[in-house]
Amino acid sequence: MIKKLTLLTGYILLTAQFLVGQSIEDLRKEIEQVLAEKNATVGVAIKGVNPQDTISINGDLHLPMQSVFKFHLALAALHQVDKGKLNFNDSIAIDRAYMDRYSHLWSPLRKKYPNGAKVPLPEIIQYSVALSDNVGCDLLFKLVGGTDVVQSFFQKIGVKDIAIKHTEIIMQANWDLQYANWTTAKAANQVLQLFFENDKLLSDESYDFLLDVLKGAKTGKKKIRGCLPKDAIVAHKTGTSGKNTHGLTGASNDIGIVYLPDESYFYLSVLVSDSMEDSEANQKIIADIAKLAWDYFKQ
């Protein structure tokens, strides 16, 4: 009996030590180890269902979004659909000349319709977000009324630390302009939370549509998803700048809602900026942070 009590006491002590060791501050330290000696500026924001499970590292830095802003744009566009300013059932005419203007930019939509077409609005949104299409993105900017309208929308819903100034075709013509389209990691998480909690932000139809699009995102397989189980559900949007002539990556980003096996979730935004690391290393920073957060919340 004494031996059983001794074993039980030892088990309780080990369990208590294990639980104590899983604090949010320990997660912060593990992430800081991932970032140690990396030649990059990295903004991180993590938030769980429990408000105490919230941390940020460089969370207030203004960092370039790149294509992450296509999620923000889709939110603004769907808000206009719900207000009757845009019609979800409309098809938008795109001529060949417009497609040709984007011949130097990534556009699966242009590959599908090289000679132009009438493209349904839902398809434009889906291509813009899930496939990070640049033709679709700039069409959406035109439909909603421009970057100023999108910027104003986020200011009105309380997101202050964000700037959306340039369309894709303008931004990608000048390396420095990507820095004018910025967010903080904390503001990126704020937008994710506002969307996911959907307190009168979108109609149920628009909400369900965009959430499915985010879950079906085809980009960034080595970013947030990189080290997670293959069946993990992630609703996310990536953004990547490529490198300049000096080997500098302006942005390698991923923000998303990560679903856990117990049907809870956490918000994660990782913005890797001004990095001299190679592409694989930049993606691994995001993947490693996502896995650490996954393990923390799963336990």
- Evaluate whether residue 122 is within a structural domain: yes
The β-bridge partners of 41 are 273
Instruction: Tell me the C-alpha distance between 248 and 182, whole Å.
Output: 17
* Residue of higher predicted confidence among 7 and 295: 295
- Evaluate whether residue 16 is within a structural domain: no
Count: domains in the chain: 1
At 8 the pLDDT is: 40
Q: What is the CATH number of the domain that holds 224?
A: 3.40.710.10
- Evaluate whether residue 8 is within a structural domain: no
At 11 the pLDDT is: 38
Its domain, for residue 32, covers 25-298
For 15-65, the pLDDT digits (tens) are 443 445 579 999 999 999 999 999 999 999 999 999 999 999 999 999 999
At 74 the pLDDT is: 98
57 neighbors 270 (Cβ within 8 angstroms)? no
- Evaluate whether residue 3 is within a structural domain: no
Percent of the chain at pLDDT exceeding 70? 93
For 257-277, the pLDDT digits (tens) are 999 999 999 999 999 999 999
At 35 the pLDDT is: 98
Query: Which whole number is the average pLDDT over 67-93?
Result: 98
At 116 the pLDDT is: 96
- Evaluate whether residue 126 is within a structural domain: yes
For 191-229, the pLDDT digits (tens) are 999 999 998 899 999 999 999 999 999 999 999 999 999
**Catalytic residue list:** 67, 168
At 299 the pLDDT is: 87
At 76 the pLDDT is: 98
At 17 the pLDDT is: 39
- Evaluate whether residue 1 is within a structural domain: no
136 neighbors 112 (Cβ within 8 angstroms)? no
Q: Is 277 exposed, middle or buried (0-12, 13-18, 19+ CB in 10 A)?
A: middle
Work out the mean pLDDT of the chain and round it to a whole number.
93
- Evaluate whether residue 11 is within a structural domain: no
In the β-sheet with 265-275, what is the strand arrangement from edge to edge? 54-57, 41-48, 265-275, 249-259, 234-240
- Evaluate whether residue 92 is within a structural domain: yes
